[in-house]
């Protein structure tokens, strides 16, 4: 299918708005041809994942756009970077590789701000910084943000990654293909959760486990879940989507009676029949916890929560859990990752003071599974995030224990792993 561009878009290609815009438009139209799009679509916002330093090429691309005079033309938020700019001593620089990340990572973050993006530095811009409207076309990167944007907000973004995201932000255009279209947003696989007891589904531990299971069986297809009650929270949906996007490639999911494009099964599937029907039980959740828990024994060095970045409700819950009881064991480091906007509100409400008094170390602008924050001798880490548990063993070389938030607090106080699989039955 041939790509047709408007006169305005052709002018961008021809350099009427400068060489930076022309460069960005060449990337966008090149992607459109690969995706088989007949046209481009105007976008209302962008979220940029390319500001996390993975090597010199990422810095070269961003600085090239900047030096050519490019600027974003739509509201643009920035994903996590490689440093915590508010707590500069938190990321270690002990080795030449770590020092490279500190220097080049800061330069990369600065380049994206120079392109006109907001220095939000969060993987969860949908919490305070950006909530596109239902049906609005956007160009978001970062897997959990994509899943949340499509599924929970009902806005429309395809899977955008490094370089594509910033080019869409500069041009204000994206290919009209993939999850921008009605057909691609329909469900593919039916996930039946009706046999899981309600008391289990209400556990904060269940949603990341369910997401991990669903992602591992559906891959990049769109799952449609039945059996979840209407009181499932945004934090639960966030945890589900993040895990499903990590173990598989889920960018769109439907929860019947909960998410906006699935008031019923007929709306979720349209005229399609499910390609597959999968039943998930409480025993499957236990199995998933065992798969994600790579550590053995009861040793505990680190607890890390807030991946994706913790919401205000999650911070308030953690503060309540720490309000009474013993202190965190001195040999256990407890990290909470969150975004700057959420942190500011948590500070206003007094939660930050309470958390820091309990020994919690707050991380912003980055995340503990992608930067050198954990101490070198840490061997076992506990987390409440399916995404963190999925990536940390490979990224950090640590053993992981997946647990609910209350189990994380109890274990940190005891100084050893305390989990109970009977909670999931």
Number of domains in the chain: 3
221 pairs with which residues across the strands? none
Residue 250, by phi and psi: left (phi above 0), alpha (psi -120 to 50) or beta? Answer: beta
Instruction: Give me the half-sphere count of Cα atoms (radius 13 Å) on the Cβ side of residue 387.
Output: 25
Helix (H, G, I), strand (E, B) or coil at 420: coil
- What DSSP line would sit under 71-86, residue for residue? --SS-EEE---SS-SS
Rounded CA separation 240/215 (Å): 9
**Per-residue model confidence (pLDDT) at position 425:** 84
- What DSSP line would sit under 194-226, residue for residue? TTS-HHHHTSTTHHHHHHHHHHHHHTTS-EEEE
Query: Largest alpha-carbon pair distance within the chain?
Result: 67
Arithmetic mean of pLDDT, 200-227: 97
**Per-residue model confidence (pLDDT) at position 229:** 85
| Structural domain includes residue 235 | yes
Supply φ then ψ for residue 301, to 5 degrees: -110, -35
pLDDT in tens, 102-135: 999 999 999 999 999 999 999 999 999 999 999 9
51 pLDDT higher than 90: yes
23 with 146, same domain: the answer is yes
Arithmetic mean of pLDDT, 341-358: 96
33 with 152, same domain: the answer is yes
Residues 6+ apart with CB under 8 A from 348: none
Q: Are strands 40-42 and 173-175 parallel, antiparallel or unpaired?
A: antiparallel
| Structural domain includes residue 192 | yes
- Look over the chain and give the mean of its residue pLDDT values, rounded to a whole number: 97
Beta carbons of 361 and 143 less than 8 angstroms apart: no
Within a 10 A sphere around the Cβ of 57, how many other Cβ atoms?
Answer: 10
255, 290, 325 - which closes a domain: 290
Q: Which two tokens stand for residue 316?
A: 């308030």
Beta carbons of 139 and 174 less than 8 angstroms apart: yes
Q: 310: closest CA among 344, 289, 336?
A: 336
Q: Which uninterrupted H or E stretch holds 410?
A: helix 405-414
146, 163, 180 - which closes a domain: 180
31 with 167, same domain: the answer is yes
| Structural domain includes residue 277 | yes
146, 162, 180 - which closes a domain: 180
Long-range contacts of 15-19 (CB under 8 A, 24+ apart): 18/68, 18/69, 18/70, 19/68, 19/69
315 pLDDT higher than 90: yes
**Per-residue model confidence (pLDDT) at position 75:** 98
**Per-residue model confidence (pLDDT) at position 86:** 96
86 with 159, same domain: the answer is yes
34 with 167, same domain: the answer is yes
Please report, rounded to a whole number, the percentage of residues in the chain having pLDDT higher than 70.
Answer: 100
Arithmetic mean of pLDDT, 286-308: 97
| Structural domain includes residue 373 | yes
Q: 131: closest CA among 192, 197, 47, 55?
A: 47
The domain that holds 158 is classified in CATH as 3.30.499
The domain that holds 337 is classified in CATH as 3.30.499.10
Q: How confident is the model at residue 324 (pLDDT cuts 50, 70, 90)?
A: confident
| Structural domain includes residue 2 | no
Q: 144: closest CA among 333, 315, 339?
A: 339
Q: 163: closest CA among 35, 60, 34, 33?
A: 60
**Per-residue model confidence (pLDDT) at position 325:** 82
241 with 344, same domain: the answer is no
> Domain range for residue 346?
293-424
pLDDT in tens, 359-377: 999 999 999 999 999 999 9
**Per-residue model confidence (pLDDT) at position 1:** 73
| Structural domain includes residue 1 | no
Arithmetic mean of pLDDT, 321-331: 92
Q: How confident is the model at residue 144 (pLDDT cuts 50, 70, 90)?
A: very high
Within a 10 A sphere around the Cβ of 260, how many other Cβ atoms?
Answer: 14
Arithmetic mean of pLDDT, 221-240: 96
Please report, rounded to a whole number, the percentage of residues in the chain having pLDDT higher than 90.
Answer: 96
Of 18-22, 91-95, 144-148, the range with the lowest mean pLDDT is 91-95
132 with 156, same domain: the answer is yes
Q: How confident is the model at residue 326 (pLDDT cuts 50, 70, 90)?
A: confident
**Per-residue model confidence (pLDDT) at position 218:** 98
282 with 303, same domain: the answer is no
58 with 160, same domain: the answer is yes
305 with 270, same domain: the answer is no
398 with 341, same domain: the answer is yes
155 with 260, same domain: the answer is no
pLDDT in tens, 194-203: 999 999 999 9
Beta carbons of 168 and 28 less than 8 angstroms apart: yes
């Amino acid at each position: 299918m041939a790509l047709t561009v408007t006169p305005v878009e052709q002018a961008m290609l021809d350099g009427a708005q400068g060489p930076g815009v022309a460069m960005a438009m060449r990337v966008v139209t090149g992607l459109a041809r690969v995706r088989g799009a007949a046209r481009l679509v105007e976008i209302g916002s962008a979220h940029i994942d390319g500001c996390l330093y993975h090597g010199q090429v990422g810095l070269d691309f961003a600085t090239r756009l900047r030096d050519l005079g490019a600027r974003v033309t739509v509201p643009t938020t920035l994903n996590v970077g490689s440093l915590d700019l508010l707590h500069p001593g938190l990321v270690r620089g002990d080795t030449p590789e770590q020092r490279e990340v500190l220097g080049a990572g800061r330069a990369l973050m600065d380049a994206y701000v120079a392109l006109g993006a907001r220095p939000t530095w969060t993987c969860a811009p949908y919490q305070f910084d950006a909530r596109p409207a239902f049906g609005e076309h956007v160009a978001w990167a970062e897997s959990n943000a994509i899943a949340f944007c499509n599924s929970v907000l009902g806005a429309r973004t395809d899977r955008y990654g490094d370089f594509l995201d910033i080019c869409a932000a500069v041009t204000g255009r994206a290919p009209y293909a993939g999850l921008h279209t009605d057909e691609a947003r329909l469900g593919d696989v039916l996930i039946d959760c009706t046999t899981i007891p309600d008391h289990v589904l209400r556990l904060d531990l269940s949603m990341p486990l369910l997401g991990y299971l669903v992602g591992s069986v559906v891959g990049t297809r769109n799952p449609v879940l039945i059996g979840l009650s209407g009181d499932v929270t945004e934090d639960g949906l966030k945890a589900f989507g993040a895990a499903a996007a990590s173990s598989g490639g889920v960018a769109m999911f439907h929860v019947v009676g909960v998410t906006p494009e699935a008031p019923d099964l007929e709306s979720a599937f349209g005229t399609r029949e499910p390609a597959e029907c999968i039943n998930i039980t409480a025993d499957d959740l236990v199995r998933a916890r065992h798969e994600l828990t790579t550590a053995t024994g009861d040793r505990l060095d680190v607890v890390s929560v807030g991946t994706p970045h913790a919401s205000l409700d999650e911070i308030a819950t953690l503060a309540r859990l720490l309000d009474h009881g013993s202190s965190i064991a001195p040999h256990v480091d407890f990290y909470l990752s969150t975004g700057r906007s959420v942190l500011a509100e948590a500070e206003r409400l007094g939660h930050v003071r309470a958390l820091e008094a309990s020994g919690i170390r707050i991380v912003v602008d980055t995340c503990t599974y992608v930067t050198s924050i954990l101490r070198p001798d840490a061997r076992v880490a506990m987390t409440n995030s399916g995404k963190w548990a999925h990536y940390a063993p490979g990224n950090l070389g640590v053993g992981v224990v997946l647990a609910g938030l209350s189990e994380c607090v109890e274990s940190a106080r005891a100084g050893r792993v305390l989990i109970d699989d009977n909670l999931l039955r």
